[in-house]
Every structure is written in structure tokens, then in C-alpha cells.
Structure 1
């Protein structure tokens, strides 16, 4: 199924009149990000404050796919709420890299359309971006794993606006796996995005590793503050 359907996701954002319906697209998206999650032979980029970032060549576009890993001092069931867009979750409250992260459409309980507005990166060299995502939450009980996966879509009701460059998120996601300590969670972040506009790809690539570490630090800080 991946070989037949997936090129419609990887070569351009999904259009709403696509022959794929949301549940079908959600399954393809989840399968794709799960492939990256299980892959080996990642190139280590940096380790900072117990956060590890690595990368490899993406199969979805000309850039790299990045992987961040850390351990959260919180059980998976509670950690999940930190990764969802408002009002279903707390992502907008703690992530300093986004100015807005909201649900636009509830398709089903676990499938939504959301908008993410990203703040400037590299001291303004990468200007404000926004993204319209299909988001999918899925639990694999046999793997003790829950994932929140996203990819860009085109939606006629939410076209690009003048204040933002419309970016593209290729299949990406957060994975929450039960730790041997039941009060902790192994968190993995698979990320691959294009800033678009006139930004050279090397600038986007240069910012991604630090961006992932920043996301993890923001999340850990918010979790710790909630315990005080």
C-alpha cells in the first residue's frame, strides 16, 4: 500500500479533493513514520543535556530526516497531552518555537486537521512560517507505543496568508514508549520539514538539530514546572 499511495504524500501536500480519505491517509502516514522510527544506522549529530539528535537521508524529499531522543520524567498517558494541539493538548503552551498550534477540524477522535505557526529561526534568517497538518494519534499496545504523527495538507478553507510563508512538513511524529520505570517515557521525535520560500536548504538543515533540542528542553522544563 505504501508504494502505491505514498507518492501522493511525498511529492506535494495532500489536496482535499484527493481520492484518499482521511482514515486511509492516516494509516499511510502512520506506517511511513513508523518505518523511520524502527530504522537503524542514524548519523549522530549532537548530544546535549541527555537529548540525542541524529539524522539520515530522507526518502520523502531532497533533505534529511532527523531523530531526537530523550527520557521524560512522566508516564506516557500524561505525556501525550503535551504533544497535541490546543484545545486537545498543551503544545501551544510550552513550545517556544510555535506561536500558534490549534485544531482546525476534528475529523475523528484521533484524526484532526491543525494549524501550526512557527516563530523565526537563525536570528530571523528563517522568517515566520505556518503549516496546515493532518494529525493522527495511534496506539500500538503490542509495542507499548503511542505516536502522534503529522504531515502537511492543502485545504481550500485555510490557504496561505501574507504574514507567513507556508511550509511543508513531510511525514513526522512523536513516539511515546513505556520506560522500564513506569513513571518515565522514552520520547522519540521524527522530524522532516521544508521552510520553502527563498531559504537555502542548508540553512534549514543547519537549524533543525538545534531546533529539536530546543523543543525537548521546552517540554522537559514545562513538565518539571508542573511538578513544583
Structure 2
């Protein structure tokens, strides 16, 4: 499989979501975050967009979400059990295996996601981590995890205009949890999970980058 090509396609798709304002419907709003959704064109579920301000500069926010083996993500994200970089394709592209804990009082069992991820800094100072699902020979399905799939998704850590110590975090989530979950359970869980991601990250950037 050409992982570079898959990464390029995913990044192009994620960037297109950022440019396209049409069709979004609000589904959750807090003091920290605004979440909206529209039907995915990639699978039978939804594409979610989340926007919020983080109290740290983009490089520091990126440190907390950058995919790394044993990195900061495992320390603050309550949904994530482990992140492992399976293979580095080049300095900007890698294959990751992310495992999650059970959720909703074990209604949702542990998941695993195998992704190709692009990590880089754009010319305008924005840090990006953009991903999509792939298969990898070192990652056969595990019997104790359900194999979920992320479709083109990721985070944009955008410098906040006039506020060098703040970051506009724009994220797209497009996750097929797989298994036999009712769609109503998925549509209830994902927005709440995204809101928890932003809330925990906001605390983490202060704790780990101060």
C-alpha cells in the first residue's frame, strides 16, 4: 500500500472540509467548544466539526495531540489507552495504532484504530495532524478489541489572530466505531466524547506546557 498517497488524499480531504461551510448543523455548544455535523460522504455515519480556543500557543497544543509512542496523548485523553507509532514513513508521515478504553459503562467495548497520519507545520504557522484508516502487516486485528475506522479527519492548530498565546483548534472527526452499536448510541456518544476531548486538552496544555 502506498501510505504517502493515502496520507496525501486524507490531508486533501480534511482541508476541503475546512474550506466548505455548507450543510453543517449545530449539535453541541459549551463555553469551550462548538460542535456541528453533517452526513459523511465516506461511510454511513456523520462527519463532525469542532471549534474552540486553547489557552496556549499552537506549538504547545500540538505537543499534546501529536501522535507519539508513549506521548502526552496517553496522559490526558481519558478515552485513549495507548498510542504506538508502528512505522515512520518519512519525517511527516507515520502509521499509528491507537487503542481506546471501553465507554458508556462498557456498552462500547475497547476499540483499535490503524491510521496513516500526516504531521507538519503549514506556512501560516498552523500545525496539522491529519489522518485516515489503513491496513498494516504489523497490525493484525486483536481478538479483544473491535477494529474501528477513522475516515479523513484531524486537527488544525491555528494561531489566534492577535493572541500569540492562544490557539484556535479546528478539528474534524469521522469515526466508524464498527461492531453492532445502534446508531442512536453512536450519535449520542461521539459529540460528548469530542466535548470531553476539548475540555481535557484545554487543561493538559496548561499542565504539560507551562
Q: Does 1:37 align with 2:44?
A: no
Query: In the superposition, relative to structure 1, how do residues 145 and 109 fare at CA in structure 2: closer, same or farther (>3 Å)?
Result: same
Query: In the superposition, relative to structure 1, how do residues 107 and 128 fare at CA in structure 2: closer, same or farther (>3 Å)?
Result: same
What is the RMSD of the two structures over their aligned residues, measured on CA atoms?
A: 1.6
Report the secondary structure of 1:138's partner residue: strand
Unaligned runs of 5+ in 2: none
Aligned partner of 2:114 in structure 1 is 132
Distance 1:57 1:67 in 2: 11
Distance 2:95 2:184 in 1: 29
Aligned partner of 2:6 in structure 1 is 25
* Structure with greater proportional helix content: 1
Aligned partner of 2:55 in structure 1 is 73
Q: Deviations over 1:24-46 (max 9, x none)?
A: 22211100011112221321111
Q: Deviations over 1:171-223 (max 9, x none)?
A: 11001111110111100110011111111223112111000001111111112
Aligned partner of 2:99 in structure 1 is 117
Q: Does 1:163 align with 2:144?
A: yes
Contact map agreement 1:86 1:92 (CA 8 A) in 2: no
TM-score normalised by the chain length of structure 2: 0.93
Correspondence for 2:194 among 207, 212, 223: 212
Aligned residues: 208
Report the secondary structure of 1:112's partner residue: strand
Distance 2:204 2:127 in 1: 20
Query: In the superposition, relative to structure 1, how do residues 91 and 149 fare at CA in structure 2: closer, same or farther (>3 Å)?
Result: same
Distance 2:97 2:110 in 1: 13
TM-score normalised by the chain length of structure 1: 0.86
Distance 1:225 1:173 in 2: 23
Unaligned runs of 5+ in 1: 1-15
Flag as ranges the 4+ runs of structure 1 deviating above 6 A. none
Query: How far is the alpha carbon of 1:101 from its aligned partner?
Result: 1.2
Query: In the superposition, relative to structure 1, how do residues 216 and 119 fare at CA in structure 2: closer, same or farther (>3 Å)?
Result: same
Correspondence for 2:133 among 140, 146, 152: 152
